[in-house]
Amino acid sequence: MPDNQQITKIKIKNPYNVSDYAEGKLTILDIKAEDEEGNLYDIEMQLKGTNFYGKRTLYYWAKMFGSQMDYLTKKEQEKKKRKTYSELNKCIVISLMDFEFFEDDKYHRCFTLKDRETNEIHPDLNYLDLYFVELAKF
C-alpha cells in the first residue's frame, strides 16, 4: 500500500459463528479499518455466496459512506457539528470470498466509478472502490 494509505485503526465488527446451516459451520468475520487519510475500509470474509451478493456489497458501501455524516468525533460532539459533504472520505469494501461470484477464471477485481468512454475518474466521484477476491479460484 502507498504510504498515505497505511491502516491506522482496526475494529473487529460482529465476529460470530452460525452453525445451523445444512452444510455445517459457517464463520463470518467483518473488519472495519481506517487509513492515515481517513479512508474507511469494510473487509468482508464470506464463505457462502448468495444470488444478491453484489447488491449486498453495494449496500455495505452505501451504509458506510452515508453513516459518516452521522458519526461525531469527541471534538464535533462538543460543537454539535456533523460532517459536511466536503468532509466525506472514500469508502472501500474488500470482499474475500470462498465461492465463485464471477463466471470466468479471474480471481481479483476492483470496481470504481469512472467515465465509460474515457475511463476518467473525476475527483468528486472517487469515493467508491469495491474489491472482490475469489479465493476458490486463487
Please count the other Cβ atoms lying within 10 Å of the Cβ belonging to residue 107: 15
Do β-strands 91-97 and 108-112 pair in parallel, antiparallel, or remain unpaired?
unpaired
- Mean of pLDDT values over 68-76: 69
Per-residue pLDDT tens over the stretch 38-67: 899 999 988 888 889 999 999 999 999 998
> Could you tell me the pTM of the whole model?
0.77
Per-residue pLDDT tens over the stretch 88-117: 999 999 999 999 999 999 999 999 999 999
Q: Please name the helix (run of DSSP H) or strand (run of DSSP E) that holds residue 27, with its range, or none.
A: strand 24-35
Of 48, 64, 43, 38, nearest in space to 99 by CA: 48
Query: Mean pLDDT for the chain?
Result: 82
- Enter the C-alpha cell of residue 44: 468482508
